[in-house]
Amino acid sequence: MVNVTEDVFANGAVNPFTKSKDTIKRFTLTNGAGMSVQLITRGATITSIKTPDASGQIDDVTLGFDDLAGYQSEKNPYFGATIGRVCNRIANGSFYLDGKLVEVSKNRDNKFQLHGGFVGFDKAHWEVVEVRGDGVTLSHTNPDGHEGYPGKVTATASFTLSEDNCLHVQMSAVADKTTPVNLTNHSYFNLAGHKSGANGLYEHTIEINAYGITETDQSSIPTGRITPVEGTGFDLRVSSNLGERLKALQPARGYDDNFCVTFSPPQPLAKVARATHPPSGRWLEVVSNQPGVQFYTSNFMPDVERGESPIPGKDGAAYAKHGAFCLETQKFPDSVNHSNFPSTILRPGESYQHEVIYKFGVSH
Active-site residue list: 186, 328
241 by Cβ neighbours in 10 Å (0-12 / 13-18 / 19+) ranks as middle
105 assigned binding-site residue = no
211 by Cβ neighbours in 10 Å (0-12 / 13-18 / 19+) ranks as middle
- Residue 158 half-sphere exposure toward CB, CA atoms < 13 A: 15
Q: What is the DSSP letter of 138?
A: E
Contact 243, 289 (CB under 8 A): no
89 assigned binding-site residue = yes
Helices (H), ranges, 160-230? 197-202
76 assigned binding-site residue = no
SS3 state of residue 293: strand
Give the H/E segment covering residue 259. Answer: strand 256-261
Smallest Cα–Cα separation from 18: which of 116, 142, 191? Answer: 142
186 assigned binding-site residue = yes
Give the H/E segment covering residue 21. Answer: strand 21-30
Q: What is the DSSP letter of 309?
A: P
SS3 state of residue 249: helix
256 assigned binding-site residue = yes
Smallest Cα–Cα separation from 103: which of 155, 145, 143? Answer: 145
Q: Which residue ranges are tagged as binding site for beta-D-galactose?
A: 88-89, 186-188, 256
Q: Which residue ranges are tagged as binding site?
A: 88-89, 186-188, 256
